[in-house]
Structures are given as C-alpha cells and as structure tokens.
Amino acid sequence: MVRKIAKEISLNNVKIEDGFWSQIQKTVIDTVIPYQEKILKDQVSGAAKSHAIANFRIAAGLEGGEFYGMVFQDSDVAKWLEAVAYSLAINPDEELERRADDIIEIIGKAQQEDGYLNTYFTIKEPDRRWENLHECHELYCAGHMMEAAVAYYQATGKDKLLHIMERMADHIGNRFGPDKEKGIPGHQEIEIGLMRLYHATGKEKYRDLAQFFVDERGKNPNYFAEEKKKRGWSHFGLDPKDTKYSQCHLPVREQKKAEGHSVRAVYMYTAMADLAAEIKDQSLYDACVRLWNNMVNKRMYITGAIGSTPAGEGFTIDYDLPNDTGYGETCASIGLIFFAKQMLDINPSNYYGDIMERALYNGVISGMGLDGQHFFYVNPLEVNPGISGELFGYRHVLPQRPKWHACACCPPNLARLLTSLGKYAWSEGEDTIYSHLFIGGELSLEKADIKIETNYPWEGRIVYKVSGKVKDEFQIAIRIPAWAKNTSIRLNGEEIRLSSSIKDGYAYIKKGWDKNGVIEVTFDMPVRRIYSNTKVGANAGCVALMRGPLVYCFEGIDNGDELQSLRIPRKGQIRILPYDRDLLKGIVPIEVEGIKLIGEGSLYSEIPPEEKPVILKAIPYYAWGNRGLNQMRVWMLEKW
C-alpha cells in the first residue's frame, strides 16, 4: 500500500553551514530578497516594471490607480513572502519581518467580504470572477498565497495570512466540488497549496478539495472549450482544444507521458504524489511513477531542465531535446525538485534523489546570476551571441541574465526554494533519518543531533557526527549516488559491508546511537564523459562532462569565440584543476585536451580543416553567463 514513510523536516531544525550552499543562501538572504522587494515596489531603475505591491494597495483601497502586469502578478508577492518566511526561519530579522507583516496587512485589506482574493479581478474586471479558469490563474495565485501563508505561520507563529487564505480556500470550496461547479485550474498550483493547508491545519476539507481538482482533471477534456464558449471572451487567446497543454487530455490516472506546459505538469505531479500517499491511492501513485519515468528517461535535459520548446513552454515528444532553442524554464526544474521530494518521501531511492540533486545543482541555480540581481527564465545548453536572443526562433534564449522579467515567476521561485533547502536535504521516518543531499551543517531532531562536515560538490567526502538522544536503535539512511565511484562507508573507523546495507541506493546504518558515532562516506569524483541516447538527434557525435552532480560547460571567454570548431578526443586527457576561490565565486575548473579545426577561409572547400591541439577549459554549468556576453556549450563534438 502506498504511503509516506518519511516526513518533511522543519527548517527550524536545520542549520546550513556549508562551503557551497551557505554562500548561495547568504546571497539570497542579503541580496535577492531585499532586491526583489524593491522590484515588487518598482524601486529598481532599469528593471521591468512589477507594480505587484501597488496592485494590492489599489485593491485594498489604500491608493488609486489601475492594475498593471500579468493576470497572475499576485503570485510574485506570494512567492516572495514564502521566501521571506524561510529566510526568517534560518536567519531571524525583525526589520524584514516587520516589512512582511505590513505587506500581509495590505493583503488582508485587499480580501473581499466573501473571502475572494485576487487583485486583477478586484481592480479590473470584478464582474468576471471565476469565468476564465483556463487563462486567468485565480486558482494558481490562490495556491501560491496558501503556500506562503503556511510557510509564514510555521516560521513566525503568526497566523494572519493563514486565516486570510483559509477564508479564500473556503470561498473556493463553496464554489467548486463534486456537487458544485466542476471547474479545474488552467495552471495547476492550487492543489499544492490546498495540500499544504491540510498538512498545516489538519482540516480534511482542504485535502478533499485538492483531491477534487486532481480527480476532475481530464474527466471532460472539452471543459475549457465549453468554458470559452459560455463566457465568450479571452484573455491570452489560449487554444482550449489543446488539451495536452494543460494536462486535461486524459484523467490523471490514465496519463502515461509528460505532456504540455512543463511547469503546470510538475506542479500537478507534485500534488498527485502527495495526495496519493495521504489517501493511499495506488493507482494515483502508479501514474506518478509512469510520468516520472517518461519525463526523466526521455524528456529531460542532462542539467535536469525540462520543457524543450517555447511553444507552450512545454514538452514535445520523446528525445526531442534541442540545445540552442530549448526552453528549460527555471520554474520547471524547481517543480521537478518538488515532485522528486514527494516521491522520495514515499520511496527513498537514489532514482529520485539523484535527479533532485541534478536539477538543483544545474537546472535551478543556473537561473540566478552570482550577484543575485540577474535572472534567467530560459536555461539553454548552447548560446551563440548574434543568434541567441535575436533571430526568429531563438529570441527566447537570452545570452545574458536580465535584471527582471515582465513574466517574473522564476526569480521569486528561486528565492523560496533556496531558502528552504533544508527541507530537501533531509526527511524523517518512524525509525529512520534520511540524508538526501550532502550539505554541511547541523540537524537537531528528537532522536539525535547530527553535524555534517563536507566540501561537496568539490570533494567526495561527507562526515556525519551523530549524537544520539535515545537508547532505542534507529537508522540513518544516506543516499549513495548512482554515479559515485568506489564508495566506502566507515562507522567509527570500521568499514561497513555495503552489499548488506544498501537498499534502492540508500545505505542504512542501524545501531543504538546513545553512545554517539561518526559515519564517514567517501567516493571518487572523476570527470565522467556522458553520452546521449542515440535517438537525441541534437547530441549525435557529442559528449558532455560531469563531475559529481555538476554538469560542466565551455564558454567563449575561456576557449575562444568559435566553440563549434572545437573537438574533444575520445582518449584525450582531462585534468581536474585546483579549487579557484577567485573564479566565479569559487569553483573547481576542468582542463581538457582538445582540437581546434582551422579552415582555409572560403564558405565551402574540398580542403579539410587543419587540426590544432589546444587545451580547453570547462566550468560548472550553473556559473555560465557571469562574465559578459560570450558563447556557451554543454555538448561538444567528440573526435574518435
């Protein structure tokens, strides 16, 4: 029977002190959160206008003016508030909390008497509430604000926003349900928000409403077409007949392939997995497994990015993974991490944990500049200045991160994920503590205090110092990545026989910890040559490099401005360089023996290019685009 065997760890119990992640979290707390607050208040010169806070003030009657922005502009505020909540949990800040409280006060005043909360319809089209679920994101915005409300309550103990969103949830529940209107959200997210409300409050009506939205999707594939005909107006002009776009082509339990808009899809899968475990629905869980398998084995980039086309920001067909026109929205990789964590809590397996790690270290943090003030929406695997961001078909592939986006879903999504990192690093079961990610710091639970020391991802050594608090035996389960070479685990200096302790890629170490103990995990981290399935046409004849969880890439600034002329010999030497603290805020670069092809100059010729030996330099993919405008490639042509 499907059920959760592990639960989320409270951020209050995790303290991250890590050479890699502490720097990123510090950037988010010190720079990203205040920068985004200024963005939301339109106080950053040269950045795309947000007006999101002003929209709430106008809806609350605190100032005059018109609504500005996307119909889902409210969600930017919600995600920012959620990031603030996690920031306060790990780094209390009375002034930041006061400013957040002030914004929550405005949100409360913007709520209507019947519980409805949405600034677009309150200000601009009050007579059209709930008429356009396909395009207008009312349920999506509500879901994000519910997530923010739960996070803020858990971090601060303050329940004002929680009560605001309970009122909104009740308003939605009074309108939609099995014996009421049969609506479904165009963009999934309300399902996650309602499940989080359920977990925080214990009120089953919120779980039941989430189940209604999950169960209803796809029962009537023509729902959005019928809705459009009934209302007679459009907002974006979305095609309601494209049922795969919003995953309503089939009931969710019958879906077998990751289809449509990638963010909508993984948000839905996240809620499906959470719900399946809560209501012990095997068929719903089986659908999650099928969809995961299709997505990660046939429709995912090496970086953990998903969504290969700007047309619908979504999936296309199996093995269609273009590098220079791919989409790879930051939000989609974040949603993949959400989905992975739900699957991990049901079935702790490195099959899920490895993908969560891959997306985190590559497809997610690539979306933010190292300065914390520039952001990618699209994360390509190849960029060519003069083409990328300029020519038709490539305009979505920006070669440099802008300060903000008119559609700004990704930057605050990054902030909320990176401040809540502790929730993804650990889970806790009845008799087992699970270590999913190798992040230094301290964990304090009822069973034990654990201190983690590591220089990961640069080195493959992790030390767990366990101080037990109970006499009963319990287990510590540590993920062993499938890529890890020559893994060794020592307990108090004695090597553990791995064949008897590993299950689904997790090493289980069981003992009475009241006398404390030290677990040392080590594995080799060579550079690995990665090849695509031959069905991926974009990567034919190419090789990519990975070390540990990190995908590496080549930039023009290190290798000249004709990356397409470079080749990597199959038997060429690869050298791991020392850690360089002055390069890109500290990285381990890689040097590769390469070949540069030099042609004779004419457009076409019968004379083959000359081959010149060169030394190529690669950097972690997440750090690309931080040194000005230049080329970038992940997949390099290989010479046999």
Residue 85 near residue 149 (C-beta atoms within 8 A): no
State the pLDDT at residue 500.
74
> Nearest Cα to 297, choosing from 276, 283, 311, 315?
315
CA distances (Å), 262 to each of 75, 187, 399, 469, in order? 18, 10, 22, 44
Mean pLDDT of 617-639: 97
Which of 82, 189, 313, 382 is the catalytic position? 313
> Please, what are the domains in the chain?
250-420 (no CATH), 431-524 (2.60.420.10), 527-639 (no CATH)
Q: What is the pLDDT of residues 328-361, one digit of tens each?
A: 999 999 999 999 999 999 999 999 999 999 999 9
Mean pLDDT of 222-246: 96
Residue 83's CB: how many other CB atoms inside 10 A? 28
Q: Determine the Cα–Cα distance for residues 553 and 547; give it in Å rounded to an integer.
A: 11
Q: What is the pLDDT of residues 141-183, one digit of tens each?
A: 999 999 999 999 999 999 999 999 999 999 999 999 999 999 9
- What sign does the CA torsion over 522, 523, 525, 526 have? positive
Q: Indicate the range of 46-50, 400-404, 423-427 predicted with least confidence.
A: 46-50
Q: Determine the Cα–Cα distance for residues 364 and 358; give it in Å rounded to an integer.
A: 9
Mean pLDDT of 6-11: 92
Which of 141, 248, 331, 409 is the catalytic position? 409
State the pLDDT at residue 513.
85
Q: Is residue 573 pLDDT above 80, yes or no?
A: yes
Across all residues in the chain, what is the average pLDDT? Answer: 96
- The band of 511, judged by pLDDT with boundaries at 50, 70 and 90, is confident
Task: State the amino acid at position 94 in one-letter form.
Answer: E
Give strand pairing partners of 432: 475
State the pLDDT at residue 48.
85
Q: How many helices (H) and strands (E) does the chain have?
A: 19, 23
CA distances (Å), 569 to each of 119, 543, 574, 588, 610, in order? 58, 10, 10, 22, 15
313 flagged as catalytic: yes
State the pLDDT at residue 205.
98
Which is more confidently placed, 406 or 283?
A: 283
227 flagged as catalytic: no
- The band of 393, judged by pLDDT with boundaries at 50, 70 and 90, is very high
Q: Percentage of the chain with pLDDT > 90?
A: 94
